[in-house]
Amino acid sequence: MGEDRTLFDRRLEKHRDELRWLYMELYDNGSMFAELCDRMEQFYLERDAKLRDRDHVREAEAEAGSAWYKGNDLLGMMLYVDNFAGTLKGVEERLDYIQKCNVNVLHLMPFLKTEKGKSDGGYAVSDFRRVNDELGTMKDLAHLANTCHEKGINVCMDFVMNHTSECHEWARRARAGEGEYMSRYFFYENETIPRQFEQTVPQVFPTTAPGNFTWLPQIGHYVMTTFYPYQWDLNYRNPRVFNEMMYNFLYLANQGIDIFRIDAVPYIWKELGTSCRNLRQVHTIVRMMRMIAEIVCPGILLLGEVVMEPEKVAPYFGTIEKPECHMLYNVTTMATTWHTVATRDVRLLKKQLDTICALPKDYVFLNYLRCHDDIGWGLDYDFLARQGFEECAHKQYLNAYFLGKAGNSSRGELYNDDPVTGDARFCGTTASMCGIEAAERGLRQGCPKEETELAQAISLDVMLHAYMFFLSGNPILYSGDEVAQKNDYSYREDPWKADDSRYIHRGRMDWEALERLKDADSTESRIFYPLARLEEIRRTSKVFVTNADVWTVETGDDSVLGIGRCFEGEKVVGLFNFCENDKTAWISETDGMYEDLLSGVRMQMVNVKLPAYGFRYLRRCAC
Ligand code: GLC
């Protein structure tokens, strides 16, 4: 025990001055700070010995410059517990499948207690220390995490810190008029202040939940609700809110969680006269959270969900000396990727990747094609304007394209089609957006030409994954994408979901479809096995570590993206054809022979041919 204390003290000592400074700057409350430190120690002492060992190893690795999330071997998958396997126990029983997918980071979508129909897919938490009854118990979670660890799998969960459900105990007590609890949210007895906020605060769900406040007739007050009316924004000006949320965070860390996706983090500080996004105090809070984690549970990571324009994203990494998040979603790259699919023009994507590649290598992005949310068309419209694209018209083009209205085979639905701005976002699974759903339907209807369409859609789907695995950072798959899961339209029949088209890509895992993996010609096999091969290449080649040199390569064709990577003398070049026609990458790398990592063929890297939606991973030969 004495030794444990020393370790805790040492970690606390390292951060105490800065932590105290930031805390006092925000709250000017010494006794609450002292309480925070006491509780941190308590959580540390309660932490399971295995987890503490894990921390110890990871802390040492990070200090030696090889943090566990900076290698080339992480592959994530995000999934809904109920859709995937019913319960947490069910997930545990299916870990063999997770391993078959080569996945070692399992992001369990929100599973904490929520109220049916008022859950926003689990993002309206009514108890941070209880698992949703249908999904299991906290014990099941700790058991699952432990089993995952034994199998080399890390567990990620959402920490929904911007708001609680209106059914959370704090909200219930606030609604009952308890001042102490009302001060944990933003309450206003008339519309004066809410109106002032509305002048500067944009809307997150303009159609499904317009406005940023909700009137509560029972108590004659407005409450701030940036997201849905049942998600009450927490008031982080109140140190009690910060402290209690940190205790919740540490409690969950002690269940064995490795990665916390800090949900909607840019929104956590509100200030009249601002957009209430990305305010300075948000960074203070994230920095404090990072230090708290490094003191109590240094093995864990903070993954920031910052769905913002690029210049707002990178600051969430903090600085090298004072880091905030360990990892951030590569959100603009994701949206730009789909823009590239629709336009077959890689110029904007190349520019976006150049921006990412110019960032310090310590900044690790999480790359993805799809997640549980809609795709917002947050692109660099200044750049696009120079190419003749106008923002509003272009968004409409993208939506029409992915709806399949351009005579193409993409399928999906609009999301929050804003009647005022004419702006809409987009929903659909990767497979459906790539055209697999439409082609398969055509085939079922006896249309043989769809065979070619299907082959092309599959090529696009695989190429997009190959490109995503090649980016700088760590990749994460959206569950079902590995077997080309299509859109699920059944949400329209569910009154709780019908308004929210994001459910179109939140369908149940189709375990029967997995049976088709036995048939090499099935669509599932034609996606699953190529992905498995790419994953193997990535995890066995050091050149894919997160701190490799990565740059874009000029290819002389606007439909072909080139990416180079180099690490400790090993060099690979990835070429990706975003067009449905065969193309040539007009390049000439004269530094030796190259080997195609997929076919094993040796070749010169001069004017490389690429089939429609084809790609190549080319490695410079050692000799
Ligand atoms: C995040 C989630 C999204 C949710 C929102 C509100 O953006 O990804 O699904 O609706 O937070 O919690």
Question: Which residues are within 8 A (CB) of 207 and not within 5 positions of it... i.e. 6 or more apart?
Answer: 416, 417, 418, 419
Residue 422 has pLDDT above 80, yes or no: no
Residue 198 has pLDDT above 90, yes or no: yes
pLDDT band (50, 70, 90) for residue 423: confident
Phi/psi at 366 (nearest 5 deg)? -105, 120
Query: Are 288 and 268 spatial neighbours (Cβ–Cβ below 8 Å)?
Result: no
Closest residue by CA, ligand 1 atom 9: 373
Instruction: Round to the nearest angstrom and report the end-to-end CA distance of the chain.
Output: 56
Counting ligand 1 atoms within 8 A of each CB, the residue from 373, 415, 416, 503 with the most, and so the one to mutate, is: 373
Q: In Å, what is the CA distance from 544 to each residue of 195, 550, 572?
A: 50, 9, 9
| Percent with pLDDT over 70 in the chain | 99
How many C-beta atoms surround the C-beta of residue 590 within 10 A?
7
**Pocket (CB within 6 angstroms of ligand 1):** 120-121, 123, 160, 227, 263-264, 305, 372-373
Query: Are 503 and 491 spatial neighbours (Cβ–Cβ below 8 Å)?
Result: yes
CA torsion 374-511-535-350 (nearest 10°) is: -20
Closest residue by CA, ligand 1 atom 12: 123
> Model pTM?
0.97
Euclidean distance between CA atoms 223 and 193, whole angstroms: 11
Query: Are 552 and 357 spatial neighbours (Cβ–Cβ below 8 Å)?
Result: yes
- Ligand 1 atom at shortest distance from the alpha carbon of 160: 12
Predicted pLDDT at 1 = 53
CA of 309 to the centre of ligand 1 (A): 17
Residue 5 has pLDDT above 80, yes or no: no
Closest residue by CA, ligand 1 atom 11: 264
CA of 191 to the centre of ligand 1 (A): 26
Closest residue by CA, ligand 1 atom 10: 120
Angle CA(593)–CA(597)–CA(602) in degrees, nearest 5?
30
Question: Which residues are within 8 A (CB) of 270 and not within 5 positions of it... i.e. 6 or more apart?
Answer: 186, 197, 224, 233, 235, 276, 279
Closest residue by CA, ligand 1 atom 3: 373
Predicted pLDDT at 271 = 97
Structure tokens given for 9: 């003290």
DSSP string, 208-255: TB-SSEEEETTTTEEEE-SSSTTEEEB-TTSHHHHHHHHHHHHHHHTT
Q: Which amino acid is at 66?
A: S
Q: What is the largest CA-CA distance in the chain?
A: 78
Predicted pLDDT at 418 = 78
User: Rounded mean pLDDT of 55-73?
Assistant: 95
Instruction: Dihedral sign for Cα 401, 404, 406, 407, please.
Output: positive
Least confident stretch, 24-28, 168-172, 323-327, 356-360: 356-360
Euclidean distance between CA atoms 72 and 2, whole angstroms: 38
CA of 30 to the centre of ligand 1 (A): 34
- Reduced 3-state DSSP string for 517-562: HHCCCCHHHHHHHHHHHHHHHHHHCHHHCCCCEEEEECCCCCCEEE
Print burial letters for 342-375: b (CB count within 10 Å at least 16), e (below 16): bbbbbbbbbebbeebbeeeeebbbbbbbbbbbbb
CA of 171 to the centre of ligand 1 (A): 19
- Ramachandran bin of 120, using left for φ above 0, alpha for ψ from -120 to 50, beta for the remaining angles: left
Residue 421 has pLDDT above 90, yes or no: no
Counting ligand 1 atoms within 8 A of each CB, the residue from 111, 263, 303, 307 with the most, and so the one to mutate, is: 263
> Between 407 and 325, whose confidence is greater?
325
Query: Are 295 and 253 spatial neighbours (Cβ–Cβ below 8 Å)?
Result: no
- Ligand 1 atom at shortest distance from the alpha carbon of 373: 9
Q: In Å, what is the CA distance from 316 to each residue of 152, 189, 245, 496?
A: 28, 35, 19, 34
Euclidean distance between CA atoms 501 and 374, whole angstroms: 8
Euclidean distance between CA atoms 120 and 107, whole angstroms: 17
HSE-up of residue 119 (Cα within 13 Å, Cβ side):
16
Q: Which amino acid is at 370?
A: R
Q: What is the pLDDT of residues 15-59, one digit of tens each?
A: 999 999 999 999 999 999 999 999 999 999 999 999 999 999 999
Query: Are 590 and 607 spatial neighbours (Cβ–Cβ below 8 Å)?
Result: no
Query: Are 281 and 236 spatial neighbours (Cβ–Cβ below 8 Å)?
Result: yes
Whose structure tokens read 């899961």?
485
Euclidean distance between CA atoms 170 and 178, whole angstroms: 9
Pairing of strands 549-553, 413-415: unpaired
- Ligand 1 atom at shortest distance from the alpha carbon of 123: 12
Euclidean distance between CA atoms 257 and 587, whole angstroms: 46
Residue 516 has pLDDT above 80, yes or no: yes
- Ligand 1 atom at shortest distance from the alpha carbon of 124: 12
CA of 402 to the centre of ligand 1 (A): 22
Show which residues are catalytic.
Answer: 263, 305
Residue 2 has pLDDT above 70, yes or no: no
CA of 264 to the centre of ligand 1 (A): 6
- Ligand 1 atom at shortest distance from the alpha carbon of 121: 9
DSSP string, 261-320: EETTGGGS---TTS-SSS-HHHHHHHHHHHHHHHHH-TT-EEEE---S-HHHHGGGGB-S
Residue 419 has pLDDT above 80, yes or no: no
- Ligand 1 atom at shortest distance from the alpha carbon of 120: 10
How many C-beta atoms surround the C-beta of residue 145 within 10 A?
24
Q: What is the pLDDT of residues 356-396, one digit of tens each?
A: 999 999 999 999 999 999 999 999 999 999 999 999 999 99
Euclidean distance between CA atoms 92 and 111, whole angstroms: 14
Q: What is the pLDDT of residues 128-162, one digit of tens each?
A: 999 999 999 999 999 999 999 999 999 999 999 99
Which helix (H) or strand (E) segment holds residue 571: the answer is strand 570-577
Q: What is the pLDDT of residues 78-131, one digit of tens each?
A: 999 999 999 999 999 999 999 999 999 999 999 999 999 899 999 999 999 999
Counting ligand 1 atoms within 8 A of each CB, the residue from 120, 159, 208, 501 with the most, and so the one to mutate, is: 120
CA of 263 to the centre of ligand 1 (A): 7
Counting ligand 1 atoms within 8 A of each CB, the residue from 161, 164, 227 with the most, and so the one to mutate, is: 227
How many C-beta atoms surround the C-beta of residue 41 within 10 A?
17
CA of 370 to the centre of ligand 1 (A): 14
Residue 266 has pLDDT above 70, yes or no: yes
- Ligand 1 atom at shortest distance from the alpha carbon of 163: 12
Euclidean distance between CA atoms 321 and 557, whole angstroms: 41
CA of 503 to the centre of ligand 1 (A): 13
Closest residue by CA, ligand 1 atom 4: 123
pLDDT, the chain, mean: 96
- Ligand 1 atom at shortest distance from the alpha carbon of 371: 8
CA of 10 to the centre of ligand 1 (A): 37
Closest residue by CA, ligand 1 atom 8: 373
Residue 296 has pLDDT above 80, yes or no: yes
CA of 373 to the centre of ligand 1 (A): 7
**DSSP character for 373?**
S
| Percent with pLDDT over 90 in the chain | 93
Q: What is the pLDDT of residues 445-494, one digit of tens each?
A: 998 888 999 999 999 999 999 999 999 999 999 999 999 999 999 999 99
Three-class SS state of 188? strand
Closest residue by CA, ligand 1 atom 7: 264
> Between 294 and 320, whose confidence is greater?
294
Three-class SS state of 124? coil
Residue 623 has pLDDT above 80, yes or no: no
